[in-house]
Structure 1
Amino acid sequence: MGAVRGQAAMAALAMCGALVLSACQNGDDTAAPDGPPGAAAPSAPGAPSPAGTPAGPAPSKPAASAKPSAPAGPTGKKPPAPAPSPACDHKMPISPDTIAVYRYTPEGGSHNLIVRHGEFGCPGPFEPVGKETFYPISETAKITATAPILPGEVTGKPISTHELTSWVIAHPNSGLPFRYHLNADGVIDTLDEVYVK
């Protein structure tokens, strides 16, 4: 009776041992060796893993940092590009051949135009500067005129000295620009009105 019980106990132990062995063989084959839970065995980059499968790719070099962009403005947007400088940012020189005609005077027994020198804007109309002075004009001067002396004309049309002086007397201080030329005696012999819109 005791022998039967001993054999039964031995059979039970053998069955338990077989169950434990079977459970170990069917369990996770990739269990980590001794160490903290979840820790994997270190391996060299590119070396095969213990299970025979190749390890992941070797870590690549860190990417070069991108060039920093321009600093953003207070609103987070890039500041606007500076406006282009104006096409003309300097003072123009006095025009050597242009005058603004203001009045007419026959003082001294000759025809005289009271004028001012000036400069053309940049760009812009003729701008008189300096003090008034006078130039004598020849009675036979070659003169061309446009509007407003000849209304509606945009290209120069010939007029006489008398026609010019009559208009200037009727419209004093108009300051109309004219290109002029002086003869050897310092008298205007050519006068061409500059058309102004």
Structure 2
Amino acid sequence: MKANRLRPVVVALAAVTLTAVLTGCEKGGSATGSASGSTAGSAAGSAAGSAAGAGAGTGASAKPAASTAAATPAGATPSAVPSAASKKPSAAPPATSAATAAGCSDEPPTPDEVDPDELALFRIEEIDGVTDKVNLVIQHGVWGCPGKDTDGAPFVVTGEDSRWAMDQAAYVTAVTPITDSTENRRIGVQELIDWVDAHPDSGLVFRYETGDDGAIHRLEQVFTP
């Protein structure tokens, strides 16, 4: 009899316990759901806030660009940076004269510039007490630049007379105007003396060679047009 009376009590207790467990589970589920909902809401709110902040930031930074674009007139183009080719060229070096380029000069030469093999003959003088030599009165010089009205270049002299002994038996050749030829012809020393005496200070140009005694032993006139 006691056993039968205990069964309803045990069943009642089991039902109460089950109810408590279920109630606890429901409460736990509600708490979990609330926590999850809160977390999701917070995340959504944060994302929305971030998006709103980003949009606000974008709008603020766009304003200067818009104002810059507005400051530039429509259709205007920015000034181009000058290239290297557009820069002002450096000054060109001074051009050399035609005389310098041609290697000639119309100025009297210095002693270091004179032609060592040619001279201009002006006069011939006898040497007192010497019968085998005569003095040629000469000037040294160099060939200048051709003139506009001549075919040849002038012989530019130093302007100072010098005297140089020439052997009476020297080998001498001449062209026009001493002879009537443009090709060298041999003449005697006396014939040369006679012509120079008749035409002093002519300045005809001769190429010369000296002998062992230092006197001129060969004299050849240079033809000039």
Normalised-by-shorter TM-score class:
0.5 to 0.7
1:121 to 127, 140, 144: 144
**Quick check: 1:176 aligned with 2:204?**
yes
1:154 to 182, 195, 198: 182
Matched residue type, 1:135: W
Q: Shift of the alpha carbon at 1:141?
A: 1.0
Q: Secondary structure at the match of 1:186?
A: coil
Matches within 5 A, 1:19-168: 85-89=96-100, 93-108=113-128, 109=131, 110-123=133-146, 124-151=153-180, 153-168=181-196
Matched residue type, 1:86: S
Q: Using the alignment, how far apart are the partners of 1:190 and 1:70 within structure 2?
A: 64
Per-residue CA deviations over 1:150-176 (Å, capped at 9, x if unaligned) read: 13x222111111111110011001011
The 1:100–1:65 alpha-carbon spacing in structure 2 relative to 1, beyond 3 Å, is closer
The 1:186–1:69 alpha-carbon spacing in structure 2 relative to 1, beyond 3 Å, is same
Q: Using the alignment, how far apart are the partners of 1:180 and 1:65 within structure 2?
A: 66
Q: Secondary structure at the match of 2:140?
A: strand
Which protein shows a greater Rg?
2
Matched residue type, 1:158: R
Q: Shift of the alpha carbon at 1:148?
A: 0.9
Paired residue total: 128
**Higher share of residues assigned helix:** 2
Matched residue type, 1:88: A
CA root-mean-square deviation:
3.1
Q: Secondary structure at the match of 1:131?
A: coil
Q: Secondary structure at the match of 2:217?
A: strand
Instruction: Show the counterpart of 1:46.
Output: none
Q: Using the alignment, how far apart are the partners of 2:168 and 2:216 within structure 1?
A: 9
The 1:64–1:126 alpha-carbon spacing in structure 2 relative to 1, beyond 3 Å, is same
Matches within 5 A, 1:4-19: none
Per-residue CA deviations over 1:33-57 (Å, capped at 9, x if unaligned) read: xxxxxxxxxxxxxxxxxxxxxxxxx
Structure 2 residues without counterparts, runs of 5 or longer: 1-79, 147-152
Q: Secondary structure at the match of 1:141?
A: strand
The 1:68–1:187 alpha-carbon spacing in structure 2 relative to 1, beyond 3 Å, is closer
Q: Secondary structure at the match of 1:88?
A: helix
Q: Using the alignment, how far apart are the partners of 1:119 and 1:194 within structure 2?
A: 13
Q: Secondary structure at the match of 1:184?
A: coil
Q: Using the alignment, how far apart are the partners of 2:174 and 2:184 within structure 1?
A: 5
Per-residue CA deviations over 1:97-125 (Å, capped at 9, x if unaligned) read: 11111111112243221111111114531
